[in-house]
Each structure stands twice: as C-alpha cells, then as structure tokens.
Structure 1
Amino acid sequence: MGRGGETHRGRGSDGELGAAVARAQQGDEHAFAVAYRLVQPGLLGYLRGLVGDDAEDVASEAWLEIARDLGRFRGDGAGFRGWTATIARHRAFDHLRRQRARPRPSVIEQDVLDLPGTHSTHDQALESLSTEAALRLVAELPPDQAEAVLLRIVVGLDGPSAARVLGKRPGAVRTAVHRGLKRLARRLGVDDVTDEPPRTLGESR
C-alpha cells in the first residue's frame, strides 16, 4: 500500500486508467498491464482485509475473470475500479466458502458507534492505513465498517461506487466508513474526536 493520500492519487489516475482500459479492450496488452498496475495495489489491500494471507491467490483468480470479461465492461476509470472490486469480492467469498474448515472472517452487518471527527483525526487514521499493521487493525473492525473502509480508502472508490459493490445505499456506506475511522482513531490514540464527519472523503453533504 502507498502512504497517506494514496486514495486521492488513485482517483487522480482514473483518467489514465479509463484510457488504458479502452485501449486494452481493443487488444493492447501493454494497456492492460497499465490498468493492472493502477488497480492491483488497492485491490490487493481490499482482499487482504477479506481473506488475509490468501489475497494474492484470490487476486489472481479475479484478474483471470477480469481479463476474460474485459470486453463486456462499459464505463470509465472509476467505474473500472468498482467493477474489478465487485469481481474480487465475489471471488473472495467463493474462496471463503471453500475454506469452511477455518472460521470465516465476519462480513456481516453490525450496529456501532458515532461518526469520527476533525480533519486531523481523519488524516491520522488515513496515514496509518498505509501500513500492513493498519490492515490488521481494519480487520478487527465490525465487518460492515471494515469492508466499507477498505473500499473507500484502500481501493479508492467513491461512496456510490462502494455502495454498488456492497449492495447497500450510499448513506449506509458513508456511515460505516465514518464509524470505522472513528474506531481506528481511538485505537491509534487520536483524542480530538467530534461528531463532524470528515469532508475529505469526497462525499456530498
């Protein structure tokens, strides 16, 4: 994963990603490699939050499906991130079903706490998400919060795109992200927490 702010840089590359996907759909293998390079880090971070050490294997399965069905995709760079995240999520759940012998990481909804607070709280939580240790902290969140945080912060999806991946309303995803970041802030010892949601997530008020 990159350092704090990776999400915003990822969104800034959506134009490049959309152009690469369009060329890849015309058979340009180099363009597909560019699309892979832009999407894979966030996708792998998301999968680590779902399947842990099996993320590389699940990502490989997902990319096989992405490559196979690329011609059916319609949309821009941001849409491609959402489409690939949906495929990866399905493959992750298939993987978990095949691994019934071990406890499945919960990905079921659970009611939780208040919204996180000030910009400093949010920025510090984002900065800590740049480490492998932070992914382990995210995995300890209530499952709906963990997956929403991974999609929004790690994959770099906007609220509506994350909601489509999860099959939820954007407001529910926004709340889950806010609550997850508040829990992370508390775990990281950030004290100045209020009820004002962070505006840097790109959500409309």
Structure 2
Amino acid sequence: MGQGARSRRAQADDGELGAAVARAQQGDEAAFAVAYRIVQPGLLGYLRGLVGEDAEDVASDAWLEIARDLDRFQGDGAGFRGWTATIARHRALDHLRRRRVRPRQAALDPDVLDLPAPHSTHDQALESLSTEQALRLVRTLPQDQAEAVLLRVVVGLDGPAAARVLGKRPGAVRTAAHRGLKRLARRLGAEDAGGGVTDEPPRALGESK
C-alpha cells in the first residue's frame, strides 16, 4: 500500500481512535480494546522492521507501558498514534541494547539514489508489494531511511509526527523517507527483473551480518 493511501486510512481512523482513547482514559476497557485494534497492526509492522521476530514481545512490553501511562497522554487520535510509536521505539531500542547489537546500516551503492525508478511513483511501487515483501525490502535500507518509511507508511504518521518520534527535523525525515522509497522502487524493479538484489534473508534493523 502506498504512503498516501496508508496515511489517508490512518487519518480516517484517527477520529474513532481519539474518541476511544478518551473513553479509555475514563476507565472504559472496551474502548481501550478499540484503540489497540486500530493502532496495533501498524505498530507491530514498525517493530518487525526494528527487531524482527521479537516484535510481538516488544509490542507486549510497549502496550503494558501504554496502559500504565494512559492517563498522562494528552492529545487526539493522531497524537496517540505518535505517542505509542515513541514508546514502542524506546522499548525496541532497549531490546536491541540488551542483545548488545548495534543497529547497522545496509551497504548499498550510493549511486542507486540517482538511478531512475522503474515505476512512475513511489506509491505504485509499494502498492505492488505484499506486507511481508515490503518489510523484507525495508530491512535492507539504511536505518534512518527504514524508520522513516515504516513510520510514514506502516504506522501512518505525518512528517512532523514521525520527526518527533525520531527526534529529528521534519525535513530530515521527509528526505530519508523519500530516499528510502526511491531505493525500494529500484530494488523492486531489480527483483522483478530477476536481478537478485534482495536475495539475502530478512533481518531486523538491529541485526548484525
């Protein structure tokens, strides 16, 4: 699914999400379950890109913290999406530190950025990917680009919200997402042509070679 389509779907859910969070803060457990249902798929996809097969365990830790600190949250549905992504990212980084593995960047030819994409738009490239294929390709990106793409496309955050999660300037996140999507389009074209660019097994962003 493309970045634009994913963002529109997230925005459509944000009204329901904000209402559910407000009710959950008043003690409505069913409303908390609604908020979980809306947020969890994107959050889990983001964590799969960060920690791989440990994503569900890290997500469980994140949701324990989200539930514990829910009364402290102030904001709307979009704000809640960003708040939960920040918590999940902190738990993922803690997990990687416990494994004593430093996040690494994939060694890609910088000239790839200057090659023409095989599709007319990044959205068209991503819309042709299955979820697992998309995550597998995202894991081959440098970490800053991978996180920017995951937050924008998978979690559904806008540029400023993604920047707050990453502690970076919105312009830097937009640039990283753009370059990441361009690389994905190029790699998708290489796969379609049988180039074998992504033959290495899927890995988490924090995994070492």
Higher mean displacement: 168-177 or 123-132:
123-132
Give the letter aligned to residue 45 of structure 2: G
Structure 1 moving runs of 4+ over 6 Å = 115-119
Show structure 1 runs of 5+ residues with no match: 191-205
Per the normalisation by structure 2, the TM-score is: 0.81
- Is the alpha carbon distance of 1:121 and 1:156 closer, same or farther for their aligned partners in structure 2, counting shifts above 3 Å? same
Q: Distance in 2 between matches of 1:68 and 1:36?
A: 14
Per the normalisation by structure 1, the TM-score is: 0.83
Shift of 1:131: 1.7
Q: Distance in 1 between matches of 2:51 and 2:82?
A: 19
Structure 2 counterpart of 1:105: 103
Shift of 1:115: 10
Structure 1 counterpart of 2:15: 15
Shift of 1:183: 0.2
- Describe the superposition over 1:44-74 as per-residue Cα deviations: whole angstroms up to 9, x where unpaired: 0000000000000000000000000000000
Give the letter aligned to residue 26 of structure 2: Q
Shift of 1:17: 0.3
Shift of 1:120: 3.6
Aligned residues between the structures: 185
Task: For CA contacts below 8 A with separation 6 or more, give which structure has more relative contact order.
Answer: 2
Q: Does 1:88 align with 2:62?
A: no
- Describe the superposition over 1:8-53 as per-residue Cα deviations: whole angstroms up to 9, x where unpaired: 2122110100000000000000000000000000000000000000
Q: Distance in 2 between matches of 1:74 and 1:107?
A: 35
Structure 2 counterpart of 1:51: 51
Structure 1 counterpart of 2:76: 76
Give the letter aligned to residue 161 of structure 2: S
Q: Does 1:63 align with 2:41?
A: no
CA contact 1:116–1:178 (8 Å) conserved in 2: no
Give the letter aligned to residue 105 of structure 1: P
Structure 2 counterpart of 1:183: 183
Secondary structure of the 1:168 match is: coil
Give the letter aligned to residue 39 of structure 1: V
Secondary structure of the 1:174 match is: helix
Show structure 2 runs of 5+ residues with no match: 191-209
CA contact 1:126–1:153 (8 Å) conserved in 2: no
- Is the alpha carbon distance of 1:185 and 1:165 closer, same or farther for their aligned partners in structure 2, counting shifts above 3 Å? same
Q: Percent identity?
A: 82
- Describe the superposition over 1:116-167 as per-residue Cα deviations: whole angstroms up to 9, x where unpaired: 8798421223214542121011010011000000000000000000000000
Q: Distance in 2 between matches of 1:182 and 1:146?
A: 12
